[in-house]
Chain A
Amino acid sequence: MNERIRKLREQSLSAKPSISLERARLLTSFYADGQADGTSTPVARAMALSHILSHKEICINDGELIVGERGPSPKATPTYPEICIHSEEDFTILNSREKITFNVGEADRQVQRDEFIPFWTGRSMREKIFASMSDVWIAAYRAGVFTEFQEQRAPGHTVLDDKIYHKGFLDFQDEIKRSLERLDPATGSEAQAKKEQLTAMHIAADALIHYAERHAGRLDQLAVTEVNLDRRAELEAMAANCRRVPAHAPKSFWQALQYYWFVHLGVITELNTWDSFNPGRLDQHLYPFYRREIAEGTLTDQRARELLQSFWIKFNNQPAPPKVGVTAQESNTYTDFCLINLGGVKPSGENAANELTYMILDVIEEMRLLQPSSMVQISKKSPDRLLHHALKIIKTGYGQPSLFNTDAIIPEMLRQGKDLIDARNGGASGCVETGAFGKESYILTGYFNLTKVLEITLHNGVDPQTGKQIGIATGDPSEFTYFDELFAAFRLQLKHFIDIKIDGNRIIERLWAKHLPAPFLSLLIDDCIANGRDYNDGGARYNTSYIQGVGLGSVTDCLTAIKYHVFEQRTFDMNELLAALDSDFAGYETMQKQLRHQTPKYGNDDDYADDIMRRVFESYFLLIDGRPNTKGGHFRINLLPTTCHVYFGRVIGAMPDGRPAGEPLSEGISPVQGADRRGPTAVLKSAAKIDHLRTGGTLLNQKFTPQMLESDENLKKLGHLIRAYFTMDGHHIQFNVVSAETLRQAQERPDDYRDLIVRVAGYSDYFVDLGVDLQNEIIRRTEQGVG
């Protein structure tokens, strides 16, 4: 990398994340001054965004080529009090906690206390949600049966397609005009609602155009005083870029990147969308610009690379907005889950990888930044060279890119009723979630704790951690004669909690649609403009609500152990087992050993355990898939944990797989940590027994020690391993390439290992920033074989 990029990268790495109250201040004054009075909610939201973008500080960092920061400076992170309000204590914790800290100034803490907390209390979405939930929902939520994403982050989770590279925001406004013309006044209130929505979108489009113009103005000023002539020319070109985009379609590679970046800032300023927005199939979107400009001689490879590197740094400058309250512990990371997609297939179905794909891979390798994340889609048509190139980067131990199976992603979408071309243009985002980019709102609604449901089943509906009856009475398990009775009870309990979760989600969807529409995001996702409907209200072409199952490996091993030892081998009876669990195995160490080491386990290609996994999967799938949400779409499942398996483990006592109370659960679709003893092919075979095509994504983590990947030959074999997994319809796989020894050293001497990035779940993170539980778990995850 050149000197410019080196400096910008250094600035990004050394900037301390901080809380910026700029957005909160502008938003509060907008509403407090009565500017929203008398307007409809969508229009008020659009005006609020416009107010923020017109008044927020413009930040242009020295030497940069792509401009725009969400806060007043790199890593200055806003709050979203209309969604959730950070308490004074939250701020204190953020400022002082050891990991994932955010600096909060003393003055800011006071303003928060004296102005923002009083103003927003009673108005925030979080309060509305909790006030609307049933008692059973609250009880299940408190017990850790499920989490709820939308209680503090907006239902984002969508990715952009190629539309902005052909159209400017003025074109979107034309579309809005046409949509307004089509409104049928006879439909009365419906037409009125659409009119308000479309007007709001129009205002939101203006807001971003104006925001870009403000940057142009500042760049002009900087150019005038710039003494370095090269830089002056750059500043002038950048000002011209900001006048061109987003108003008009971009003409150059550079403008395309700048355009996306403004759009990104618009989305993440409007709301704190869960799983921040991302450009999706970047190598595809940029390729036409690249080709044309290289041919015309207006772009060099070197310049293209530099621009991409600048773009990468912009992502790294935007940490995920910190959470409030209890969930601050659940998912702690600066990562905002922007997953850039590379490779895959074209809309015509051909292999899509091009020169730019490889260039971007090189950028990823060289930049080694936490954000954005990256992935490569591998289809059967992808050349081995692409896979090999990706593996070479993975091998360096930085945890990126992850690998996805295009030939699973597409049928997953077809099964959900999507168009083939939309599916080919899609990919995966966030951790692993499948989506039709630019056309779908695919909301993650919360993690679901499968193992907790079994714990409650084993106690006849009572949560043993609190002694409260939160489930239904499904019978005293010691009276069951057959394993199938236990499974039936588990299934009933599962249905009970899934119903609660879905009922809650349907209410929450309405709250967002009513109180916090997203007119800006709606501009970008088909067919919100054509439908005159908001993204949060079913305006998108496809509307999917996911519930993410967590702990499939753990719950499988627990059920397997009970079937094997209690009902078949009769090693001990149910009462003994329950007594052992209640005492956290104190005095039952032999039993714990048997449960751990002399029991079939998921992840070993052993059908005894894997068949039970299939049964759990089927139950979970059938209880959720296809149930309607309130946006014209359906509930679907996927299987991923982010870091929630740690939190979910903490709320569960000792379990029949031999796991002591409080320990993390298995993550993603991986086997229980240390339970897989037959090497990677066995793990992949077990994992492939899941019907991936009926999910919207599964997450499989594999850890390799570097020795396994030393030679090119071994790397090729790893490539074959992945291809075989994908042949069996596996959705995703990612690798941690580190030795346990290294990780232990990192734990002991964190200061020496601050740069060590490991794959956590659907993303990578700095090892030393992880909590000690998670650190230990990563160390424990089985190291696959020795060289």
Chain B
Amino acid sequence: MTRRGIIFNIKRYAIHDGPGIRTTVFLKGCPLDCWWCHNPEGRNTDPECFGQDTGRDCLIGREVSVEAVFHEVCRDSVFYDQSGGGVTFSGGEPMMQIGFLEDVLTACRREGMHTALDTCGYAPTEDFARIAGLVDLFLYDIKLMDSDLHRKYTGVPNHLILENLHYLSGNGNRILARLPLIPEVTDTDENIAAVAEFMAQNKALREISLLPFNTLGRDKFRRFHLPDRMGTPRELSPERIERLTESFHQRGIAVGTGG
């Protein structure tokens, strides 16, 4: 195990990234460019300096070995055992560092640790084939069913993403779909209906998490002096979330929020 990767955070007691108490490792680099990105500091593959940050250490991202990450996630084993938790890899897009990811997953698996992968799905299918057997749960983002809109808001079309979803679900992997509710972008009636319909046709996709938009990303745009393309989106009312939830329920799909 000599491979090294670049991560920008390790968060312990992560309770929104899969079952139980988890540690979430954030890998740097992402092929997408979502307007609402809540981790803009994780998009570039390399460590980078966000200079004007509050005078603290400005460098975001550090190079680490597989062993170091593995050692760090093992620290909370007692909490995973107790809660049915484990480790989650997130980002950025962890698939960007496929070799490193594969090695860390292998190490975790060897210890019997529950593993989850939070992915946007935009990576070569063969890469997914490499790690599919090492991941207990995919947290898989579905953003927009209309490929043109997908391209507009994330920078890439959605064909590969949906293809990979088919691939993984067809091979018996456990998948929890996640849909970020971006006001007037992903939360439109048409998009929600399309996502629900898409899922209804795939028997392996029985569960979706609706992630209400939060302003964390906007706060970071300001701090890191990045362009804010979102403006001030309207609030998502509880009634509306209720209605969206209903669209999924009608098609027999379970809905969670925030997790």
Contacts of B13 in A (CB 8 A): 679-681, 721, 784-785
Partner of B21, one of A605, A685, A721: A721
A713, B82: Cα distance in complex, Å: 14
Instruction: Determine if A728 and B258 form an interchain contact, defined as CB atoms under 8 angstroms apart.
Output: no
| Contact call A685/B258, Cβ cutoff below 8 A | no
Is A724 a contact of B78 with CB atoms below 8 Å?
yes
**With A679-B12, A681-B76, A685-B75 as contacts: A720 and B82 at CB distance below 8 Å:** yes
A55 at the binding interface (Cβ < 8 Å): no
Q: A678-B12, A727-B78 are in contact. Are A717 and B83 (CB under 8 A)?
A: yes
Minimum Cβ distance to chain A for residue B59 (Å): 14
Tell me what chain A mostly uses at the interface: helix, strand, loop, or mixed. Answer: helix
Distance of A713 Cα from B16 Cα, bound (Å):
10
Within 8 A of A (CB), among B1-58: 11-13, 15-16, 20-21
Is A59 engaged at the interface, CB distance under 8 Å to the other chain?
no
Are the CB atoms of B259 and A723 closer together than 8 Å? no
B82, A681: Cβ atoms closer than 8 Å: no
CB neighbours (8 Å) of A682 from chain B are 12, 75
**Chain B contacts of A680 at CB under 8 A?**
13
Known: A717-B21, A720-B20, A721-B21. A681 touches B79 (CB 8 A): yes
Asked whether any CB of chain B lies closer than 8 Å to the CB of A711, the reply is yes
Residues of B within 8 A of A40 (CB): none
Mask: chain B, 198-230; 1 = CB below 8 Å from A; 0 = not:
000000000000000000000000000000000
Smallest CB separation, B83 vs chain A (Å): 3
Check B148 for interface membership: any CB of A closer than 8 A.
no
- Does B81 count as interface, using CB distance less than 8 angstroms? yes
Instruction: Encode contact with B along A688-720: 1 for CB under 8 Å, 0 otherwise.
Output: 000000000000000000000001011011001
Q: Kindly provide the distance from the CB of B14 to the nearest chain A CB, expressed in whole angstroms.
A: 9
| A382 to B: closest C-beta gap in Å | 14
Residues on the A chain within 8 Å of B83, using CB: 716-717, 720-721, 724
List the A residue with the shortest CB-CB distance to B11. Answer: A679
A605 and B79 form a contact (CB under 8 A): no
Task: Find out whether the CB atom of A724 lies under 8 angstroms from the CB atom of B15.
Answer: no
Residue in chain A with minimal CB distance to B257: A711
- Least distance between B39 CB and chain A CB atoms (Å): 14
B76 touches A685 (CB 8 A): yes
Chain B 61-100 per-residue mask, 1 if CB under 8 angstroms from chain A, else 0: 0000000000000011011011101000000000000000
Which residues in B have their C-beta under 8 angstroms from that of A713?
15, 259
* CB of B182 to closest CB in A, whole Å: 19
List residues of chain B with CB within 8 A of the CB of A724.
21, 78-79, 81-83
CB-CB < 8 A to B79: which residues of A? 681, 720-721, 724
CA of A723 to CA of B20, assembled, Å: 13
| CB-based nearest B residue for A784 | B13
Task: Kindly state the separation between the CA atoms of A617 and B83 in the bound complex, as whole angstroms.
Answer: 30
CB distance B75 to A717 under 8 Å?
Answer: no
Rounded to whole angstroms, the CA-CA distance of A138 and B97 in the bound complex is 66
- On chain A, the residues within 8 Å of B76 by CB distance are 681, 685
Partner of B20, one of A605, A678, A717, A727: A717
Contact of B15 among A678, A685, A714 (CB under 8 A): A714
Q: Complex formed: what's the CA distance from A204 to B21 in Å? A: 55
CA distance A727 to B85 in the complex (A): 16
The answer for the CA separation of A681 and B75 in the assembled complex, in Å, is 9
| B10 (CB) vs chain A CBs: closest residue | A678
Chain A residues with Cβ below 8 Å from B81 are 724
Task: From B16, B21, B75, B259, give the contact of A720 (CB < 8 A).
Answer: B21
Q: Which residues of B contact A723 (CB under 8 A)?
A: 82
Within 8 A of A (CB), among B233-259: 258-259
Q: For residue B82, which residues in chain A have a CB less than 8 angstroms away from its CB?
A: 720-721, 723-724, 727
- Establish whether residues A681 and B258, one from each chain, have CB atoms under 8 Å apart when the complex forms: no
Nearest B-chain residue to A723, judged by Cβ? B82
Complex formed: what's the CA distance from A787 to B11 in Å? 12
CB-CB under 8 A from B20, the residues of chain A are 717, 720
Query: Contact between B12 and A681 (Cβ–Cβ < 8 Å)?
Result: yes
List residues of A (720-746) whose CB comes within 8 Å of B's CBs: 720-721, 723-724, 727-728
Residue of B nearest to A678 (CB): B12
Residues in A760-787 with C-beta less than 8 Å from chain B: 784-785, 787
- Which of B12, B13, B85 has its CB near the most chain A CB atoms (within 10 A)? B13
Shortest distance in angstroms between A716's beta carbon and chain B's nearest beta carbon? 8
Whether A717 contacts B15 by the Cβ 8 Å rule is yes
Docked complex Cα distance between A713 and B11 (Å): 19
In whole angstroms, what is the CA distance A678 to B76 when docked? 12
Interface string of A591-611 (1 = CB under 8 A from B): 000000000000001000000
| A605 B75 Cβ-Cβ under 8 A | yes
Q: Chain A CB within 10 Å — which of B75, B78, B79, B81 has the most?
A: B79
Interchain CA distance A605-B81 in the complex, whole Å = 18
- Cα distance A724–B12 when bound, in Å? 14
Centre residue among A680, A682, A723, A724 by max chain B CB count within 10 A: A724
Which of A711, A717, A785 counts the most B-chain CB atoms under 10 A from its CB? A717
Q: Which residues of A contact B75 (CB under 8 A)?
A: 605, 681-682, 685
Shortest CB–CB separation between residue B167 and chain A, in angstroms? 30
Report B-chain residues with C-beta under 8 Å of the C-beta of A605. 75
Contacts of A678 in B (CB 8 A): 12
Rounded to whole angstroms, the CA-CA distance of A720 and B258 in the bound complex is: 19
Which residue from B16, B78, B85 sits with its C-beta under 8 Å from A728? B78
Shortest CB distance B207–A (Å): 14
Compute how far the CA of A724 lies from the CA of B77 in the bound complex, rounded to whole angstroms. Answer: 9
- The interface residues of chain B lying within 8 Å CB-to-CB of A717 are 15, 20-21, 83, 85
A108–B21 Cα gap in the complex (Å)?
59
C-alpha gap A362/B53 in the complex (Å): 48
Q: Is the CB of A681 within 8 A of B21?
A: yes
In the assembled complex, the Cα of A717 lies from the Cα of B15 at a distance in Å of 7
> Which B residues between 82 and 140 are near A, CB-CB below 8 angstroms?
82-83, 85
Q: How far is the CB of A442 from chain B (nearest CB, A)?
A: 30
Question: What is the minimal beta-carbon distance from A724 to any residue of chain B, in angstroms?
Answer: 4
User: Measured between C-beta atoms, what is the minimum distance from A721 to chain B in Å?
Assistant: 6
Distance of B213 from chain A, by nearest CB (Å):
14
**Which residues does chain A contribute within 8 Å of B12, judged by CB atoms?**
678-679, 681-682
Contact between B258 and A711 (Cβ–Cβ < 8 Å)?
Answer: yes
A723 vs B84: C-alpha distance in the bound complex, in angstroms?
A: 12
- Contact partners of B16 in chain A: CB under 8 A: 787
Q: Which residue of A lies closest to B76 (CB)?
A: A681
Cα-based distance from A680 to B85 in the complex (angstroms): 15
Q: Whose C-beta in chain B lies nearest to the C-beta of A785?
A: B13
Closest to A598 in B: B57
CA distance A617 to B75 in the complex (A): 22
Bound together, the chains give a CA A682 to CA B76 distance in angstroms of 8
Residues of B within 8 A of A714 (CB): 15
Report the Cα distance A716→B82, complex, angstroms. Answer: 11
Report B78 CB to chain A, min CB distance, Å.
5
Please, how many angstroms separate the alpha-carbon atoms of A714 and B85 in the complex?
13
CA of A717 to CA of B16, assembled, Å:
10
Interface centre among A682, A721, A727, A728 (most CB of B within 10 A): A721
- Measured between beta carbons, the chain B residues less than 8 angstroms from A787 are 16, 258
- A residues apposed to B, CB below 8 Å: 605, 678-682, 685, 711, 713-714, 716-717, 720-721, 723-724, 727-728, 784-785, 787
29 A-B interface contacts by CB (under 8 A): A605-B75, A678-B12, A679-B11, A679-B13, A681-B12, A681-B21, A681-B75, A682-B12, A682-B75, A685-B75, A685-B78, A717-B15, A717-B83, A717-B85, A720-B21, A720-B79, A720-B85, A721-B82, A721-B83, A723-B82, A724-B78, A724-B79, A724-B81, A724-B83, A727-B78, A727-B82, A784-B13, A785-B13, A787-B16
Interface residues of B, Cβ cutoff 8 Å to A: 11-13, 15-16, 20-21, 75-76, 78-79, 81-83, 85, 258-259
A-B CB proximity, top 6 nearest: A720-B83, A724-B82, A679-B13, A679-B12, A724-B79, A720-B82
15 new A-B pairs (CB below 8 Å) besides A680-B13, A721-B79?
A: A605-B75, A678-B12, A679-B12, A681-B76, A685-B76, A711-B258, A713-B15, A717-B15, A717-B21, A720-B79, A724-B21, A724-B79, A727-B78, A727-B82, A784-B13
